[in-house]
Amino acid sequence: MKRKVCVVVTSRPSYSRVKTVLTALSKNPNVEFQLVIAASALLDRYGSTINFIEKDGFEITAKVFNVLEGENLTSMAKTTGIGILELSTVFDNIKPDVVITIADRYETMATAISASYMNIPLAHIQGGEITGNIDEKVRHSITKLSDIHFASTEKARENIIKMGEDPEFVFNTGCPSIDIAADILLKPELDFDLYKKYGGVGSFPDIRNGYVVVMQHPVTTEYSESKKQIEVTLEAVNSINYPVLFFWPNIDAGADGTSNGIRSFRENKKSDKFHFFKNMESEDFLKLLYNSKCLIGNSSVGIRECSFLGVPVVNIGSRQTKRERGKNVIDVDYDIVQLKNAIDTLLKSGKRERDFIYGDGKSGELISDIIATVPLRFHKTLNY
Amino acid sequence: MKRKVCVVVTSRPSYSRVKTVLTALSKNPNVEFQLVIAASALLDRYGSTINFIEKDGFEITAKVFNVLEGENLTSMAKTTGIGILELSTVFDNIKPDVVITIADRYETMATAISASYMNIPLAHIQGGEITGNIDEKVRHSITKLSDIHFASTEKARENIIKMGEDPEFVFNTGCPSIDIAADILLKPELDFDLYKKYGGVGSFPDIRNGYVVVMQHPVTTEYSESKKQIEVTLEAVNSINYPVLFFWPNIDAGADGTSNGIRSFRENKKSDKFHFFKNMESEDFLKLLYNSKCLIGNSSVGIRECSFLGVPVVNIGSRQTKRERGKNVIDVDYDIVQLKNAIDTLLKSGKRERDFIYGDGKSGELISDIIATVPLRFHKTLNY
Amino acid sequence: MKRKVCVVVTSRPSYSRVKTVLTALSKNPNVEFQLVIAASALLDRYGSTINFIEKDGFEITAKVFNVLEGENLTSMAKTTGIGILELSTVFDNIKPDVVITIADRYETMATAISASYMNIPLAHIQGGEITGNIDEKVRHSITKLSDIHFASTEKARENIIKMGEDPEFVFNTGCPSIDIAADILLKPELDFDLYKKYGGVGSFPDIRNGYVVVMQHPVTTEYSESKKQIEVTLEAVNSINYPVLFFWPNIDAGADGTSNGIRSFRENKKSDKFHFFKNMESEDFLKLLYNSKCLIGNSSVGIRECSFLGVPVVNIGSRQTKRERGKNVIDVDYDIVQLKNAIDTLLKSGKRERDFIYGDGKSGELISDIIATVPLRFHKTLNY
Amino acid sequence: MKRKVCVVVTSRPSYSRVKTVLTALSKNPNVEFQLVIAASALLDRYGSTINFIEKDGFEITAKVFNVLEGENLTSMAKTTGIGILELSTVFDNIKPDVVITIADRYETMATAISASYMNIPLAHIQGGEITGNIDEKVRHSITKLSDIHFASTEKARENIIKMGEDPEFVFNTGCPSIDIAADILLKPELDFDLYKKYGGVGSFPDIRNGYVVVMQHPVTTEYSESKKQIEVTLEAVNSINYPVLFFWPNIDAGADGTSNGIRSFRENKKSDKFHFFKNMESEDFLKLLYNSKCLIGNSSVGIRECSFLGVPVVNIGSRQTKRERGKNVIDVDYDIVQLKNAIDTLLKSGKRERDFIYGDGKSGELISDIIATVPLRFHKTLNY
């Protein structure tokens, strides 16, 4: 009998990260693949990730609306509570043999609790990483609820084992987001019109002579700061002599601050240099990055995919602190001078050396193969 | 300004365990003490722990009803989800500076998530222990959400640090349940009528010439087995020539099985030797244990308090597997022969040597002192 | 295409009431029958109605656990809130063409809101009755959310129309509970041993020379009174010279009071005359009533089925106030003297004249036929 | 002792409607006023009504976040379920003597259920009206849960009584929204710059020579149609030779359709004639209406306040069908020709005759006086 493997996707970045896992699972002859879409991945104002998922040909097993509006810390907790109420019903209906949860966003805890409390073996992608930000609590807490671990780096695998997990169930598979980056390299040329199909706000500047990309998320612990932080970045990139392709932030406490900062900049400056995107398919986004002068912001894509691709990155603030990184990254504070200097340096230096810390581009297949055959259990003990 | 310290109590055994912490906190001049009572601690059919708490003179800051009926795994998950919805409202109203959560029952995860998601520093009593049962997932997962750790043994403290917690925030305070046991020793004589005031079902046998105590909970991972397991125990204790004081199990998946087993035994045997209690104040319960011939079952009280008191214990099955234990314990399977032999051995051997693994009886004061002064933070990183 | 008709059953009395509707729907060739079991109908301690339903051969489409423990007014509200969360997911999954909700228990509001808010046509069984108790609010409020009405009496039908409903969608079908009573008359002889199979607490007195039946529920508005009220009844029936078959009350605010009253009576009196049942299949219950000397309490069965069957009834207190009744009923207060006198009168008078206010025994078929063919709509306006 | 009167406000239009009630209650010496703000009234993207409320000097007793994102029918049901969970906790904490709920938005049902299930007397403002839209179900259903009724017109009062409510508890107080309109007449001159302080999107056209106002909400039963409907209106008003002041729609199923229609119009036409507002204080809004050439759309303000003020109104579609209206209104379908003709007619005809169907401008005081003194009850019966 086929093993029923259920993946719960709750956001746009999670989907991008595991897309090759989903593809591999849906083709795996030993797997009955179940896909649950939840939280902001369903919502229009966070880019309707569900539409991309359906366009990519995946069949949705269940949808779970659980985002409680408010964008404050209390509503993040409550969103997680509602997620548990809803996901436990879904699991009860579709009876998966194993559930896969992704990374460390707050609402992924709902997946972890529902599955583990219902004695369903739980697998976790991208545990064990040290990043220094608030997501660590959720990330490591999910590790302790999980039975099977798919770490993205060797060091992450070691950390998971140190935390007391049985090495037999901890695998360094690399990060599946790198798989997509690997595909980009097969046909790296940018179709300069592609990005127009994504709409967005602002003129479409001519990017054929180079451009920079900006992606900056609010930082949960500092959410009152998020408006100020985005203003520093906007001021710095406004002074660059290249077009600026700007991506909208994640849903998170603080997202309102970031959004407001972007909106008032847009209304005050009305610069033709800027274009604002809500969302982009990950392949197109990576191709855009690969052909850009540099990426500016605090997205993990700068640390992971860009190291594999050799794209220069200015990483701002604490969001990626402590994450393992390649030689492509310059780190700066939310400081206008530091930030401008770093951008200047990278704009002069051009492409960087590639790095394979986060995998070699075959992670999706690997995870799919392991999950189809690994012994399943939902009972474990500290391995000390 | 006084530090606002909030303790969330969700069940009868949790209350017993931390009573001396609550007393110390309520007297601590540097603390504004907030007490939230939730889940089964509020419910009549689990012994109305709330009544004992009020009788003990504690003021209740808020009550949270969150137990969804069903006593299956899905309802345990949903109870936790509802707990998050409700507790986050409570924390939003009473704005604690730090929240204390206790041990590892499934619904304590709601306290941990609500507090940590709301950026409220979280302290955890009784983390780090290796027990081999399903509670480990919850216990260690809460450790990873917690900022301050009050371990009950030296080994537990070491385990928490191994899991990546900062040693500066990990304290071996002993287990506060031992504090109550220590008080018992000051005046250990049993008032043989005390137990009549607790009512319960069955005759009140004369216990002045010795008696045994039974307390057996369902084991979550084996909940379909719980009826069979209690039947083995009932058969074994039915053959003992001493009165049997039998305590009702916890609310947990499987509780219905255990309860049904007890009820049909009661109706079929109608033995005058048995008395069935729903609940007892912890001091009275410990005094009853101290004066008993032995304790039979799978309660952690047999491992903790009984080792401190030197009470002989027959520990049945997997529920306490791997927990550190003293020389007072004989371990057996759910096997009628093993069980009878172990009981015989202990009935012959009498009182056992005392042990101080779980503390020396001053834990409540120690925890209260530390929580009033420890630096508070809600942001941490793996300490590797 | 068959019309998908979904019935939501939330309690033991609701099931008994609509059993013949379910049977008719499951045999109706134009209907795809969906049966959702929710709330106390799923719970062991309210008699595991689900087991009876499955034994009766009905297939369950979905189960919804939504009872929040507490048995106070707040938990009744919250149970309804959880019911909406869960039922809306169920309706989203099974996509009924029309939903049927039954009577007026508080949690049936969850069915009404979920269906009507999701633009699913809603049918209501047993609206329009005037009873004088707190259930009227829920009953009439559901009428205003419902598109199709199956009234049990002509007067109820008129009331629904007066409330502004379109007469075309208001049907006097009689009460389906009468259908079962009608079946009883075909083979009315009591198998005197039948009731032993139901277990329960207390000896099994010899009932071959007559017996009385007691069924008394707590009254929501007076829930603190519920203990006192049951004590009056217990005292009165204790003085009767016939065996007393006593039925356990519904889940409702106040149920704890009633239960406690019964329990302490049981422990203090230990009378051999009493037998306590948790539950009974409705046919067996009606046969028991038909052959009894009288029914004492405040159950609606005394007003409905007993009028059809001609069974003498002492109806106590406000719970059935204002309900249309036949000549079989004597009404009394919670007053020991009144109560004893009424019992005496009925014990002397014997069987009563039958009445057909609540239908002639063909209601289930009628409702099934109408629901399969009535035009469906979810949009209406006050018909004034 | 002062009577504790709690009002629950869940949206921008509800706040506008009852503002003078809130003012009167907060000044009433016999009332302890409790104000609960919930649902979309708290949310940034629905105009942050909470900010206006605080600016108006009202103290907030509690905030309730309960909007589940999704903007589909299932999420409307679930939002109501969460509302019950949260509001019952609030009522349990603040223990009002009477709760006031407003009008007929779907989520107001949560207020009605929480209060009535907790035996708190419930008062309803603006029941009894016949409007022909889907809101009738909620409106009349709340009437049946309510104990005290404040109808806005004589006909509404009669309808409530016909539905079986006791006339002693049904008051025609007029609609409190008219009170604000009455104040406008004291100083009707428009400060032509006032509207700039509200920001919004689009240029600020010169409105000194006349302008029209548009406010069109999605219609729940036709939510897939909402985009098409707004497009008709946009096309029609685009051809008018006056500036167009356009107001953003309510949160409701369909709001995404309406919003998308507005956004694409805005991007394609980039007309200088249009200005788009998110929100406006009701006094400023009414003054804007009073001085406008006409109001176009489907807002109830066109029926109520505009009749009192004599402002010409083109009312589109089914949303206000059957509502009592004055001579100021021309009704049309979503038909471009009809719509243009109606606008032309009104632009030529100028101000209309005033009407007092919805009150004379003293409703707030009247409601406050009655609620402070009316006998309170939570138990009623059909008055037939």
pTM (two decimals): 0.85
Position B149 in a domain? yes
Asked whether residue C333 falls in the same domain as residue C367, the answer is: no
Digit-by-digit pLDDT tens for chain D (384 residues) are: 899 999 999 998 899 899 999 999 999 999 999 999 999 999 988 878 999 999 999 999 999 999 999 878 999 999 999 999 999 999 999 999 999 999 999 999 999 999 999 999 999 999 999 988 788 999 999 999 999 999 999 999 999 999 999 999 999 999 999 999 999 999 898 887 777 788 777 778 888 889 999 999 888 655 668 888 999 999 999 999 999 999 988 766 567 788 888 888 888 887 889 999 987 888 899 999 999 999 999 998 999 999 999 999 999 998 888 888 999 999 999 999 999 999 999 999 888 889 999 999 999 999 999 999 999 999 999 999
- Among the listed ranges A94-98, C67-71, D24-28, which one has the minimum average pLDDT value? C67-71
Look at residues B144, B83, B78, B108 and name the one whose alpha carbon lies nearest to residue B7. Answer: B108
pLDDT at B270 over 80: no
H/E segment holding residue B179: helix B177-184
| A247 domain-assigned | yes
Residues A303 and A283 in one domain: yes
Q: What is the ipTM score, two decimals?
A: 0.85
pLDDT for residue B223: 61
Which positions in chain A touch C82 (Cβ < 8 Å)? Answer: 85
Cβ of C382 and D110 within 8 Å?
A: no
- Asked if the C-beta of D42 comes within 8 angstroms of chain A's C-beta atoms, the answer is yes
Average pLDDT, chain C: 92
D281 touches chain B (CB under 8 A): no
The answer to whether residue A329 sits within a structural domain is yes
Out of B84, B140, B221, whose CB is closest to A77? B84
Task: Give the mean pLDDT of chain D.
Answer: 92
Which CATH number is A128's domain given? 3.40.50.2000
Chain C positions touching B270 (Cβ under 8 A) are: none
Token code pair at residue A330: 């310059």
Q: Which DSSP string do the residues of A8-34 spell out, in sequence order?
A: EE-SHHHHHHHHHHHHHHHH-TTEEEE
Give how far Cα D382 sits from Cα of C166, C167, C174, C380, D160, Å: 18, 18, 20, 21, 11
Residue B66 at interface with chain A, using a CB cutoff of 8 Å: no
Asked whether residue A379 is domain-assigned, the answer is no
Closest partner CB to C117 (pick from D80, D113, D381): D80
D337 touches chain C (CB under 8 A): no
Regarding whether C78 and C204 lie in a shared domain, the answer is: no
Chain A residues with CB under 8 Å of D67 CB are 68-70
Residue of B nearest to C76 (CA): B65
Gap from A93 CA to chain B (nearest CA, Å)? 11
| Burial label, A82 (beta-carbon count in 10 A; 0-12, 13-18, 19+) | buried
Task: List chains touching C (3+ CB pairs under 8 A).
Answer: A, B, D
Quick one: D282 and D206 in the same domain?
yes
Domain match, D79 and D158 both? yes
What's the confidence (pLDDT) of residue A319?
85
CB A147 within 8 A of CB A121: yes
Q: Is residue B378 part of a domain?
A: no
Band (A252; pLDDT cuts 50, 70, 90) = low
CB contact under 8 A, A110 and B379: no
* Interface with C, mutate which of A60, A89, A92 (most C CBs under 10 A): A89
Nearest chain C residue to B202 by CA: give it: C267
User: A209 with A295, same domain?
Assistant: yes
Task: Please give the residue range of the domain that contains residue A137.
Answer: 3-175+359-373
D354 occurs within a structural domain:
no
Chain C positions touching B42 (Cβ under 8 A) are: 70
What whole-number percentage of chain B has pLDDT above 70?
Answer: 97
Q: Is C322 exposed, middle or buried (0-12, 13-18, 19+ CB in 10 A)?
A: middle
User: What total number of domains does chain C contain?
Assistant: 2
The nearest CA of chain B is from the CA of D86 a distance in Å of: 8
Selected residue of D93, D141, D318 to mutate for chain C interface (largest C Cβ count, 10 A): D141
Q: Which of C75, B89, C10 is nearest to D118 (CA)?
A: C75
Question: Long-range contacts for C257-262 (Cβ within 8 Å, ≥24 apart)?
Answer: C257/C218, C257/C223, C257/C224, C257/C225, C257/C226, C257/C227, C257/C230, C258/C216, C258/C217, C258/C218, C258/C226, C258/C227, C258/C229, C258/C230, C260/C227, C261/C226, C261/C227, C261/C228, C261/C229, C261/C230, C261/C231, C261/C234, C262/C230, C262/C234
Which of the two residues, A298 and A252, has the higher pLDDT score?
Answer: A298
Same domain assignment for residues A191 and A131: no
pLDDT tens per residue across span B39-62:
999 998 887 899 999 999 999 999
Contact criterion met (CB < 8 Å) for B143 and A143: no
Residues C61-74, mean pLDDT to the nearest whole number: 91
* All partners of chain B with 3 or more CB pairs under 8 angstroms: A, C, D
Task: Say yes or no: A153 and A241 in one domain.
Answer: no
Q: Are residues A17 and A162 in the same domain?
A: yes
Separation of alpha carbons A76 and C143, rounded Å = 37
Based on the fold, state whether residues B87 and B221 are members of the same structural domain.
no
Nearest-CB residue to C67 (from B43, B69, B74): B69
C211 and C311 assigned to the same domain:
yes
pLDDT band for position A313 (cuts 50, 70, 90): very high
Contact A119 B221 (CB under 8 A): yes
Task: Answer whether B169 touches A (CB < 8 Å).
Answer: no
Residue of B137, B155, B320, B378 for testing the chain A interface, max A β-carbons within 10 Å: B137
* A92 and A150, same domain (yes or no): yes
Q: What is the pLDDT of residue C222?
A: 59
Compute the nearest-CA separation of C141 from chain D (Å). 4
**Residues from chain C contacting residue D164 (CB–CB below 8 Å):** 140, 159, 162-163
CA angle D256, D258, D262 (to 5 degrees): 115
The yes-or-no verdict on residue B234 having pLDDT over 90 is yes
* CB-based contact, A109 to chain B, within 8 Å: yes
Chain D residues whose CB is inside 8 A of the C84 CB are 77-78, 80-81, 84
Q: Which residues of A touch D65 (CB under 8 A)?
A: 68-70, 72, 74-75, 78
Identify whether D363 is part of a domain.
Answer: yes
Query: Which pLDDT belongs to residue B252?
Result: 62
Q: Do C384 and D159 touch (CB under 8 A)?
A: yes
**Residue to substitute from B64, B68, B89, interface D, most D β-carbons within 10 A:** B89
Categorize the per-residue pLDDT at C357 as very low, low, confident or very high, splitting at 50, 70 and 90: very high
pLDDT digits (tens, 9 = 90+) for D194-239: 777 887 777 788 888 899 999 998 886 556 688 889 999 999 999 9
Number of A/D CB contacts below 8 angstroms equals 41
Which positions in chain A touch C89 (Cβ < 8 Å)? 86, 89
Inspect the interface and report whether the beta carbons of B162 and A162 lie closer than 8 Å. Answer: yes
Is C65 touching B (CB cutoff 8 A)?
A: yes
* Residue-level pLDDT at B190: 83
* pLDDT for res C48: 87
Q: Is D180 inside any structural domain?
A: no
D48 to chain A: nearest residue by CA? A70
